Amino acid sequence: MTHPLISFLAFQLCWFACVVGASRGLPWLGPVVVAAFGALHLWATPAGRPRAGQAWLLGLAAVIGYAADSALVLTGVLSFPPHASLGWPSSAWMVALWVAQAATLTGAMSWLADRYLLGAAFGALGGPLAYLAGVRLGAAILGGPSQATSLLLVAIEWALAMPLLLWIARETGLSNRRVVLEA
Protein backbone atom coordinates (compact mmCIF):
# COMPACT_ATOMS: atom_id res chain seq x y z
CA MET A 1 0.00 0.00 0.00
CA THR A 2 3.01 2.28 0.09
CA HIS A 3 3.31 2.38 -3.69
CA PRO A 4 2.18 5.93 -4.51
CA LEU A 5 -0.29 4.99 -7.26
CA ILE A 6 -1.90 2.19 -5.25
CA SER A 7 -2.06 4.45 -2.19
CA PHE A 8 -3.67 7.25 -4.23
CA LEU A 9 -6.26 4.96 -5.80
CA ALA A 10 -7.07 3.31 -2.46
CA PHE A 11 -7.56 6.73 -0.87
CA GLN A 12 -9.89 7.78 -3.69
CA LEU A 13 -11.94 4.62 -3.18
CA CYS A 14 -12.12 5.33 0.56
CA TRP A 15 -13.07 8.98 -0.01
CA PHE A 16 -15.89 8.08 -2.38
CA ALA A 17 -17.14 5.29 -0.08
CA CYS A 18 -17.20 7.71 2.85
CA VAL A 19 -18.65 10.79 1.16
CA VAL A 20 -20.94 9.24 -1.44
CA GLY A 21 -22.03 6.59 1.05
CA ALA A 22 -22.96 9.28 3.59
CA SER A 23 -24.71 11.38 0.96
CA ARG A 24 -26.82 8.35 -0.05
CA GLY A 25 -27.80 7.50 3.53
CA LEU A 26 -25.12 4.84 4.02
CA PRO A 27 -22.79 6.56 6.52
CA TRP A 28 -21.47 3.14 7.67
CA LEU A 29 -20.10 2.27 4.21
CA GLY A 30 -17.03 4.49 4.41
CA PRO A 31 -15.87 3.28 7.82
CA VAL A 32 -16.22 -0.35 6.64
CA VAL A 33 -14.17 0.33 3.49
CA VAL A 34 -11.55 2.31 5.44
CA ALA A 35 -11.31 -0.46 8.06
CA ALA A 36 -10.61 -2.97 5.27
CA PHE A 37 -8.12 -0.56 3.70
CA GLY A 38 -6.46 0.04 7.08
CA ALA A 39 -6.13 -3.68 7.75
CA LEU A 40 -4.68 -4.28 4.29
CA HIS A 41 -2.41 -1.26 4.71
CA LEU A 42 -1.05 -2.59 8.00
CA TRP A 43 -0.62 -6.09 6.57
CA ALA A 44 1.26 -4.70 3.54
CA THR A 45 3.56 -2.44 5.57
CA PRO A 46 7.02 -3.17 4.14
CA ALA A 47 9.94 -4.49 6.16
CA GLY A 48 11.83 -1.73 7.92
CA ARG A 49 8.67 0.16 8.79
CA PRO A 50 7.10 -0.90 12.04
CA ARG A 51 3.47 -2.00 11.86
CA ALA A 52 2.99 -0.74 15.40
CA GLY A 53 4.14 2.71 14.29
CA GLN A 54 1.75 2.62 11.35
CA ALA A 55 -1.10 1.56 13.66
CA TRP A 56 -0.24 4.43 16.01
CA LEU A 57 -0.31 6.89 13.12
CA LEU A 58 -3.73 5.67 11.99
CA GLY A 59 -5.09 5.63 15.53
CA LEU A 60 -3.79 9.10 16.36
CA ALA A 61 -5.18 10.41 13.08
CA ALA A 62 -8.60 9.10 14.13
CA VAL A 63 -8.36 10.82 17.52
CA ILE A 64 -7.08 14.09 16.04
CA GLY A 65 -9.70 14.03 13.29
CA TYR A 66 -12.52 13.27 15.70
CA ALA A 67 -11.43 16.11 18.02
CA ALA A 68 -10.85 18.64 15.22
CA ASP A 69 -14.08 17.94 13.34
CA SER A 70 -16.06 17.70 16.58
CA ALA A 71 -14.83 21.20 17.44
CA LEU A 72 -16.15 22.38 14.07
CA VAL A 73 -19.50 20.69 14.75
CA LEU A 74 -19.79 22.07 18.28
CA THR A 75 -19.06 25.62 17.06
CA GLY A 76 -21.64 25.37 14.28
CA VAL A 77 -19.12 25.45 11.45
CA LEU A 78 -19.90 21.91 10.29
CA SER A 79 -22.92 19.67 10.59
CA PHE A 80 -24.29 16.53 9.04
CA PRO A 81 -27.75 15.96 7.63
CA PRO A 82 -29.66 13.16 9.41
CA HIS A 83 -29.05 10.68 6.57
CA ALA A 84 -25.27 11.22 6.83
CA SER A 85 -24.89 11.08 10.62
CA LEU A 86 -23.25 8.17 12.37
CA GLY A 87 -21.91 9.22 15.75
CA TRP A 88 -21.69 12.59 17.43
CA PRO A 89 -20.40 15.27 17.34
CA SER A 90 -18.35 14.21 14.33
CA SER A 91 -19.59 11.42 12.12
CA ALA A 92 -17.74 8.09 11.89
CA TRP A 93 -17.24 8.47 8.15
CA MET A 94 -15.39 11.77 8.71
CA VAL A 95 -13.11 10.09 11.23
CA ALA A 96 -12.53 7.29 8.72
CA LEU A 97 -11.41 9.88 6.18
CA TRP A 98 -8.74 11.11 8.58
CA VAL A 99 -7.49 7.53 8.94
CA ALA A 100 -7.41 7.04 5.16
CA GLN A 101 -5.59 10.36 4.75
CA ALA A 102 -2.96 9.36 7.32
CA ALA A 103 -2.38 6.06 5.50
CA THR A 104 -1.34 7.99 2.39
CA LEU A 105 1.53 9.67 4.26
CA THR A 106 3.75 6.65 3.58
CA GLY A 107 2.42 6.13 0.06
CA ALA A 108 0.90 8.70 -2.27
CA MET A 109 1.93 11.61 -0.04
CA SER A 110 5.33 10.34 1.08
CA TRP A 111 6.88 13.22 -0.87
CA LEU A 112 5.65 15.48 1.97
CA ALA A 113 7.87 13.75 4.56
CA ASP A 114 9.62 16.39 6.71
CA ARG A 115 8.17 19.18 4.57
CA TYR A 116 5.98 20.73 7.21
CA LEU A 117 5.35 24.10 5.54
CA LEU A 118 4.46 22.40 2.27
CA GLY A 119 2.22 20.03 4.24
CA ALA A 120 0.51 23.00 5.88
CA ALA A 121 -0.07 24.61 2.47
CA PHE A 122 -1.33 21.34 1.03
CA GLY A 123 -3.69 20.90 3.98
CA ALA A 124 -4.90 24.50 3.81
CA LEU A 125 -5.83 24.04 0.17
CA GLY A 126 -6.90 20.41 0.01
CA GLY A 127 -8.91 20.32 3.25
CA PRO A 128 -11.45 22.97 2.26
CA LEU A 129 -11.74 21.56 -1.26
CA ALA A 130 -12.53 18.08 0.10
CA TYR A 131 -15.05 19.44 2.61
CA LEU A 132 -16.67 21.59 -0.07
CA ALA A 133 -16.99 18.54 -2.32
CA GLY A 134 -18.67 16.69 0.56
CA VAL A 135 -21.06 19.60 1.03
CA ARG A 136 -21.88 19.70 -2.67
CA LEU A 137 -22.60 15.96 -2.63
CA GLY A 138 -24.97 16.38 0.33
CA ALA A 139 -22.89 14.59 2.97
CA ALA A 140 -22.19 17.64 5.14
CA ILE A 141 -23.33 21.20 5.75
CA LEU A 142 -21.08 24.19 6.34
CA GLY A 143 -22.64 26.66 8.80
CA GLY A 144 -21.12 29.60 10.60
CA PRO A 145 -21.48 33.20 9.53
CA SER A 146 -20.75 32.31 5.89
CA GLN A 147 -19.51 29.44 3.81
CA ALA A 148 -16.29 31.37 3.14
CA THR A 149 -15.64 31.75 6.88
CA SER A 150 -16.35 28.07 7.44
CA LEU A 151 -13.94 27.09 4.65
CA LEU A 152 -11.30 29.39 6.17
CA LEU A 153 -11.68 27.60 9.50
CA VAL A 154 -11.38 24.22 7.75
CA ALA A 155 -8.24 25.54 6.01
CA ILE A 156 -6.76 26.49 9.38
CA GLU A 157 -7.72 23.08 10.81
CA TRP A 158 -5.91 21.26 8.01
CA ALA A 159 -2.97 23.69 7.88
CA LEU A 160 -2.32 22.61 11.48
CA ALA A 161 -3.30 18.95 11.08
CA MET A 162 -1.10 18.03 8.12
CA PRO A 163 2.21 19.06 9.71
CA LEU A 164 1.12 17.33 12.92
CA LEU A 165 0.34 14.11 11.05
CA LEU A 166 3.64 14.38 9.16
CA TRP A 167 5.49 14.82 12.45
CA ILE A 168 3.71 11.79 13.95
CA ALA A 169 4.68 9.76 10.86
CA ARG A 170 8.28 10.84 11.32
CA GLU A 171 8.36 10.15 15.04
CA THR A 172 6.85 6.69 14.63
CA GLY A 173 9.61 5.82 12.16
CA LEU A 174 7.37 5.83 9.11
CA SER A 175 8.54 8.72 7.01
CA ASN A 176 10.81 7.80 4.10
CA ARG A 177 13.42 10.35 5.11
CA ARG A 178 13.74 9.12 8.67
CA VAL A 179 14.05 5.51 7.56
CA VAL A 180 16.78 6.48 5.09
CA LEU A 181 18.65 8.48 7.74
CA GLU A 182 18.53 5.60 10.21
CA ALA A 183 19.59 2.94 7.70
What residues make up the domain containing 163?
4-182
Max CA distance (Å), the chain: 51
Mean per-residue pLDDT for 42-70? 86
Q: Kindly give the interhelix angle for 29-43 and 4-23, rounded to the nearest 10 degrees.
A: 160
Per the structure, how many domains does the chain have? 1
Q: pLDDT tens digit string along 115-169?
A: 999 999 999 999 999 999 999 999 999 997 888 999 999 999 999 999 999 999 8
| Closest among 154, 44, 164, 17 to 102, alpha carbons compared | 164
Q: How far apart are CA 72 and CA 144, in angstroms?
A: 9
Q: What is the value of pTM for the model shown?
A: 0.88
